[in-house]
Amino acid sequence: MKKIQGIHNDRGYTELRIWLGPKRNPDGSVNRPYRRIFGAYTLPNILRAKEHMDQVRRDFKAGKMPKPEPKPILFTQAADIFYHRHFELRQRSHKSKRNARSLLNNLKTYWPTRCLDSFKPIDIEQYREAMTKDRTGSNGRTKKGLGLGTINHHQSILSSLFERMDEYVKREEIDPVRLPEFNPCLYVAQPSTEHLKRERVASREELKNVHRWASLHDPEMLEAVKRAILSGLRKEDMRRMQGETRIRTLTGKTKRLVALPLDWSKAVNLSNWQKRWEALRENCDMQDFHWHDWRHTGATMLKELGVAEEIIQEILAHSNIQQTRAYINRKEERLRPAIEALKRELDVIMPSVTAA
């Protein structure tokens, strides 16, 4: 085949190297040639290089400069770009930034030398398997693997990283980099975590047991429990509102405004919190109860009192009503009327037969 000017055999690879404009700029600086590699030095790649060269020259004459060739990028570099643009440059809470930084640092430690364009779905599957297994630490102790909800969150962040990097390149916010042909996280199934969602609510009997024990042994803990149920505030927000005559604060998690007609001018002693809370749970036989469940309890009691869902949503500072319904609508309670109606109808048609 006749040699084409601008296309060369560079150590077995098809190299396109052409000058666009003069070799020296008017200010005296040296202009670099446009360069691109098209794989092995074969006829199909030479024809591809020739077609691309003609297109670049046409664009240059029309005033369009060619885009630089995408360069490989390490996963660690992509993670830094993603964190800077997606978290640091946006209005994120300190807690959100801290959690994202910790998660991305774990991912960078797992893939310290991997290029971003080399990721496949099997890599994500291997990561999930490795992180969910129990492993022995350097001190000889067994470290428990990540839970299902946590590893799903890791995969979601990874998926977001691949999508955002693609957007940054398309919007020309960063230099072109090599990316996977597709988002590998989209081809790895995430098991459902519906069965892990808590629906624990304190019963009336449990509330009486808490009052009976705490009034004798820890009255201030009893007051803290009442405040948690009344306000629906999380523990960290309750600590910040100690001594206030009127509840008016931005929640630490969602930064939504909470304004409630409660007087907390008398501060409650919250020192040695964990030990006191464990003692209350143990003595009231509520070992499976979390402090956050008081928030669920208060919302459920409001619903039973006939309070509108929109009011409960405002008290809990939820961004949408679906979050609130997850707090107040336990499946058993929702299904109970329908099941009981069906049972009554079935008893009429098919009465129970008692053994003689």
Whether the CB-CB separation of 185 and 159 falls below 8 Å is answered with yes
Show contacts of 45-49: CB within 8 Å, 24+ apart. Answer: 45/14, 46/1, 46/4, 46/7, 46/14, 48/14, 49/4, 49/7, 49/14, 49/15, 49/16
Choose one of 162, 196, 230: the last residue of a domain.
196
| Together in a domain, 45 and 137 | no
Encode pLDDT of 292-335 as tens digits: 888 888 888 888 888 888 888 888 878 788 878 777 765 556 66
pTM of the model: 0.58
| pLDDT band (50, 70, 90) for residue 207 | very high
| Together in a domain, 234 and 316 | yes
Domain contains 349: no
The CATH number covering residue 182 comes to: 1.10.150
The CATH number covering residue 234 comes to: 1.10.443.10
Domain contains 127: yes
| Together in a domain, 217 and 327 | yes
Encode pLDDT of 175-184 as tens digits: 889 999 899 9
Report pLDDT for 243. Answer: 67
| Together in a domain, 223 and 293 | yes
Is the pLDDT assigned to residue 141 strictly greater than 60? yes
Domain contains 356: no
| Together in a domain, 154 and 273 | no
Beta strands per DSSP E along 41-117: none
Average pLDDT on 178-203 reads 84
Choose one of 196, 228, 250: the last residue of a domain.
196
| Together in a domain, 93 and 157 | yes
% pLDDT > 90, the chain: 30
Choose one of 142, 162, 196: the last residue of a domain.
196
Is the pLDDT assigned to residue 187 strictly greater than 90? yes
| Together in a domain, 36 and 82 | no
Is the pLDDT assigned to residue 158 strictly greater than 90? yes
Domain contains 104: yes
Query: How many alpha carbons lie under 13 Å from residue 232 in its C-beta half-sphere?
Result: 25
Domain contains 239: yes
Supply the range of the domain harboring residue 47. 7-61
| Together in a domain, 236 and 323 | yes
Is the pLDDT assigned to residue 356 strictly greater than 50? no
| Together in a domain, 164 and 120 | yes
Report pLDDT for 54. Answer: 92
Report pLDDT for 209. Answer: 92
Is the pLDDT assigned to residue 355 strictly greater than 60? no
In the chain, the number of structural domains is 3
Higher pLDDT, 70 or 209: 209
Instruction: Kindly give the pairing relationship between strand 257-260 and strand 247-250.
Output: antiparallel
Report pLDDT for 125. Answer: 94
Report pLDDT for 12. Answer: 86
Domain contains 37: yes
Encode pLDDT of 66-104 as tens digits: 777 788 999 999 999 999 999 998 888 787 899 999 999
Per-residue exposure over 143-165, b if at least 16 CB sit within 10 Å of its own CB, e if not: eeebeeeebbbbbebbbebbebb
Is the pLDDT assigned to residue 248 strictly greater than 80? no
| Together in a domain, 328 and 235 | yes
Higher pLDDT, 28 or 96: 96
| Together in a domain, 46 and 116 | no
| Together in a domain, 211 and 260 | yes
Domain contains 347: no
Domain contains 355: no
Report pLDDT for 113. Answer: 93
Mean pLDDT of the chain: 84
Whether the CB-CB separation of 232 and 243 falls below 8 Å is answered with no
